[in-house]
Structure 1
């Protein structure tokens, strides 16, 4: 896959635009921290150093913030190789340490510490950037070391710039120490912006190539027991860890755990253990738990029981917070933080709203466990619940439901510890189905969402109350919810199918009409025909013929006789012929007019739409009609009958013969729709009610050009091209944000139909969509499988932190 340089440039532009204010905030925070250190320091030397450090940093703020962006751009363009970081890795060699002074060593170690401090903070956002940047630069798998925006580049450029601006190494080390915390948070936000931009530009994530790497001989892990480590005994399979492309295989797995650690409420299971466990490894997982494990479980239960006396949650405070959240536009609401440690509303979730009650269930089940597999399975369930609860794509009540459901999910692990690795397990399918259904809604406070969510909440209550380790209640809960959803969708689905059929018919009718117009343009009798007549034949009448053929597929090529009238119409407009054969014209015109009006009525054309054509046709027939009137008067007066009639030589321009351009049919940008079809497809609902209006459905003219800047620097055309039927968007319509789904796009991608709640249709032209995207009134919504993504995060060391 070739590198998309334009998108990469957009990434660079975003970073370079945000870096100066970002670094400015870091410097301001560091200055404040150093000032506080000076005021609170007890040693004179330390206070003096802190004072000199903050004063110097404050003086260097402007050159730091102005030059950093330029230096960073140079590093990005030149493909920084992190030579400084590589040198740091060699500083442990005593022979190298002898060649550098203490200041250089300390400063290098401070740089390394700064990088280490950043990684845990930016890890999750950086992983998304690594995956999408790897895909963007043409790699099929993730190569984090090839990401030009990796944290080590930011750290190296910052350290080099500080070295140039401040000669005192001690002061520079203090700067790096104080900058670390805030720089991590700022880079995390920056990486989130980059990841969002790439996501909206439809840059897919490159994959992680996961493999188990065997441990080196002699580095086996000790047995899992009281005070010892994992070991699988002689002849057992060796433990491994996740390995990624470009990463050297480790000498031994890094996981080490005691039996007592496995008994804790918050165990420290590492990703390599969970990966092996979910992959079906046996070995040590089949071992029995020992006394040390059960003793630790009892101590944990005692600690959790002490939480019973804690004050209950303040429901009024929660409601005030919810009201503040409700007042924000739905697309601007931040994802509320949730996790396994979150306190939920007792009014909504009952007993298990309290985190210590959920922890008690976990520990009681751990006390009942016999095998290591059961204890590990309980911890894996808890980590997965925490991961799903932190997923920002899901509305907060849906994530609350997963947290509240934890007790029921934990009980299943006693009978099937690895059930989450089974795609068809009822519990996994229930969570995934509820999550996917919830993507239809973008507002947790809307009545429509509440109608969807209340049955889900009731099922969570029932599953927790069942206290069963059998998956059957989950299967029944899912069946009940799915039946409710099918019933709720029945009316909307029928309406949606009618809308889709109308759109598809209009598209097929237009394609056939274009073919018919092309056939008409090759007739020999169109020569010297007025342009208005050809426009009618190429446009409206081709649609009439196409509609008749599509609605009567078995009645031959001309089921209603609309093709026959073409010859009559063309002949009747030839003035030099009709004046010599007026009787023949009088014979065919009444029937021809009747057929024309019948066809246009079937098409749905209104009299106002066809008035101009019939007025022109009357003017074309006027000479013959005038001749008839003269002969009638002559016969009445018994005078001679004139053989010729004087013809006006100055005919209106619209009656002039067709120009060469008019003789060629023009293919319209999108299908034609009648008034009733427009209403059914929802065209009247697509235009904004505020600010400047977008183009009409005809697309013939557009008021103004697209804005030069696009929302969040996203290329609107590229985003629109990436949309596929089934994708979800947030659409601003009639003053409110709706969650809508793309249901249909025309073959030429000139028309798009979205549907929102209640089966409401929103059909618009390409230009309308692009302008909505550019203004931020149409925003694609990321939708993905929730449980598989949580599993991937858990086994790849990207777990959410417990709340």
Structure 2
């Protein structure tokens, strides 16, 4: 049966999400109405006197805070819905943070996961019906049927958000989190049923389709948080004390370092492949042995619990990476092929989990993160990337080495090959950065000089257009002269004299002082603007404006009718780049601002904190979406540089970047390493197992 048309159901689904947020007030009100009776019954059944007292206290505080909680819950829901729609699981846990979490944080996270599981269990029939309807209506998100924003986890996180914002003690907050989700289950079940009914296709109302829900892999693992913390805290020497290596030395093993060193010269890789395959040892992990059989063999070789846990973590990490939709199919294949050597590595070197600088982890991170530079396998440069990647990976796989040394050699080989393959990208980026650094230094100094001009007594009555010239392009001239002057002159180039002359020439009370200086002033302005490569057409436009302002001042001084100024409506930008700087950095100009009586100020800060150096983004251009990486931002945050896999660069000001973001012409692909995200997902699975 053909599925329903997506656009119609997407609009209906969005309406359902908004309605669910609006229903949050009634949901919270009903839950709080039954809270006193049910919580007091639970407290009465507790044998622990201390816990009973804490629960009763939480119940009393809940009664006092009821109006605020009921009113605020819809907004908390909306915020969590937004995070969920954006793909943010919202977990406060990361793999790297495990050793840093205190007991209270561990308890909070455990309570959060336990509450999610309890609420999901209470509404399971209605939730299954809703998820089946979403699948039938082709509304299942990329993350799978259980990744939709209406899932119980999002409601529990909304309670957690609300509790964190409330003026209550941690003990009270924790008991709210433990008991409130279960109290809202009846209302949430009715909301799920109502949404499923609205989304159900007409031809399937009688017998709703029940899509088989794929069992989540991470729920099958027996990892717990305490075990993960032990694994990450393991001493490197522990592996050295272990009984024997997983694989015994073979005739081939003594040739591994020499063979892998040849990978550094990618032109010899064909010879290397031939030699490796001719002498390949009879060891598991390649085409003739399934991965499952290989994992089973390694589990038999494990001598300690930490080794078994390491194998499980590597396996889950690889599964998460292979399922990541941001990785192109060819990259996912390579990542899957790397599982055998990474499993071997986990047995003999637990530093892989605790040391970000470990060669094995860096290799995997370089492969996955660099691949994000392309959104399609057909884009220029991707085939070269894959060729070098496959060559080095094949050598690593055929070597069957278990220690970190082989990963380090492969990593260095890949980095060197990619470095040599992208000379144009490197040169373009270096040239762009130099240009932008010069531009920022000049703009910062020009801004300070512009403020000093505005503070002068002669500037108080000057027209806004004249001040725009002096604090805009002429301030750039003054700054450039000071930055390049080697004589320690107080007024390099004599350009400071122009400021005084312009201020005199545009005001009726002062115009007489500049009566004989016009020719020299015009000559000096042309000279100064040429020193910053200002466009001649723009220079002429400013001179025309200043001439009109001078004529106006003269007419006002003599009492004659003032002429009409022809050159009004000039443009001013907050950060200015010279034409050569724009060319060298691929500068995207700011949208022009028409100068009236006031000059708009640029935004104070970026609206997206996640946009950090190294972030991959998609930028919307006339031809469609293109993949770029934020590779540099200026020290004072005025300018940002994006690089393309082709070697091209684009730069823009902070104001322009804000504008692009507000228009939806930039979407974030990845702000953090892909491998870190895969390990964080393993940690979340451990949290769920801890709460069971």
TM-score by length of 2: 0.58
1:682 matched to 2:593: no
1:131 matched to 2:25: no
Q: Distance in 2 between matches of 1:244 and 1:398?
A: 45
Q: Distance in 2 between matches of 1:454 and 1:85?
A: 64
Shift of 1:465: 0.7
1:75 matched to 2:27: yes
Contact 2:507 2:550 in 1 (8 A): no
Against the structure 1 CA distance between its residues 195 and 698, is the aligned structure 2 distance closer, same or farther, given a 3 Å change threshold?
A: farther
Contact 1:427 1:474 in 2 (8 A): yes
1:397 matched to 2:312: no
Give the secondary structure class of the aligned counterpart of 2:668. strand
Residue 369 (structure 2) aligns with: 436
Residue 456 (structure 1) aligned to one of 364, 385, 389: 389
Q: Distance in 2 between matches of 1:509 and 1:190?
A: 49
Against the structure 1 CA distance between its residues 153 and 460, is the aligned structure 2 distance closer, same or farther, given a 3 Å change threshold?
A: same
Give the secondary structure class of the aligned counterpart of 2:646. helix
Q: Distance in 1 between matches of 2:350 and 2:609?
A: 44
Against the structure 1 CA distance between its residues 782 and 472, is the aligned structure 2 distance closer, same or farther, given a 3 Å change threshold?
A: same
Contact 2:302 2:308 in 1 (8 A): yes
Residue 188 (structure 1) aligns with: 146
Give the secondary structure class of the aligned counterpart of 1:741. strand
Against the structure 1 CA distance between its residues 70 and 559, is the aligned structure 2 distance closer, same or farther, given a 3 Å change threshold?
A: closer
The CA RMSD measured in Å over matched residues stands at 5.9
Instruction: Trace 1:195-206 onto structure 2 (pairs within 5 A).
Output: none
Shift of 1:778: 0.9
Against the structure 1 CA distance between its residues 653 and 757, is the aligned structure 2 distance closer, same or farther, given a 3 Å change threshold?
A: same
Residue 726 (structure 1) aligned to one of 601, 614, 620: 614
1:649 matched to 2:560: yes
Contact 1:720 1:769 in 2 (8 A): no
Contact 1:729 1:740 in 2 (8 A): yes
Residue 250 (structure 2) aligns with: none
Residue 626 (structure 2) aligns with: 738
Against the structure 1 CA distance between its residues 486 and 364, is the aligned structure 2 distance closer, same or farther, given a 3 Å change threshold?
A: same
Q: Distance in 1 between matches of 2:115 and 2:178?
A: 18
Shift of 1:356: 4.7
Give the secondary structure class of the aligned counterpart of 1:480. helix
Instruction: Identify which range, 80-89 or 673-682, moves more after superposition.
Output: 80-89
Q: Distance in 1 between matches of 2:639 and 2:398?
A: 50
Give the secondary structure class of the aligned counterpart of 1:560. helix
Instruction: Identify which range, 140-149 or 779-788, moves more after superposition.
Output: 140-149
Against the structure 1 CA distance between its residues 148 and 667, is the aligned structure 2 distance closer, same or farther, given a 3 Å change threshold?
A: farther
Residue 234 (structure 2) aligns with: 280
Kindly provide the CA deviation profile for residues 490-519 of structure 1, in whole angstroms up to 9, marking residues without a partner as x.
542332233233334333333333333343
Residue 593 (structure 1) aligns with: 522
**Which structure 2 segments of 5+ residues have no match?**
1-9, 47-83, 94-103, 165-173, 180-218, 245-283, 597-604
Q: Distance in 1 between matches of 2:109 and 2:394?
A: 44
**Which structure 1 segments of 5+ residues have no match?**
1-14, 23-64, 94-122, 133-138, 160-174, 207-242, 249-265, 290-350, 626-645, 687-695, 703-716
Against the structure 1 CA distance between its residues 442 and 473, is the aligned structure 2 distance closer, same or farther, given a 3 Å change threshold?
A: same
Instruction: Identify which range, 742-751 or 672-681, moves more after superposition.
Output: 742-751
Kindly provide the CA deviation profile for residues 41-66 of structure 1, in whole angstroms up to 9, marking residues without a partner as x.
xxxxxxxxxxxxxxxxxxxxxxxx99
Q: Distance in 1 between matches of 2:572 and 2:26?
A: 49
Q: Distance in 2 between matches of 1:618 and 1:376?
A: 80
Task: Select the structure of larger CA radius of gyration.
Answer: 1
1:602 matched to 2:531: yes
Q: Distance in 2 between matches of 1:144 and 1:77?
A: 26
Residue 592 (structure 2) aligns with: 698
Give the secondary structure class of the aligned counterpart of 2:685. coil
1:611 matched to 2:540: yes
Contact 1:730 1:740 in 2 (8 A): yes
Q: Distance in 1 between matches of 2:347 and 2:242?
A: 15
Shift of 1:144: 6.5
Against the structure 1 CA distance between its residues 595 and 782, is the aligned structure 2 distance closer, same or farther, given a 3 Å change threshold?
A: same
Matched residue pairs, number?
A: 517
Give the secondary structure class of the aligned counterpart of 1:131. coil
Against the structure 1 CA distance between its residues 523 and 70, is the aligned structure 2 distance closer, same or farther, given a 3 Å change threshold?
A: closer
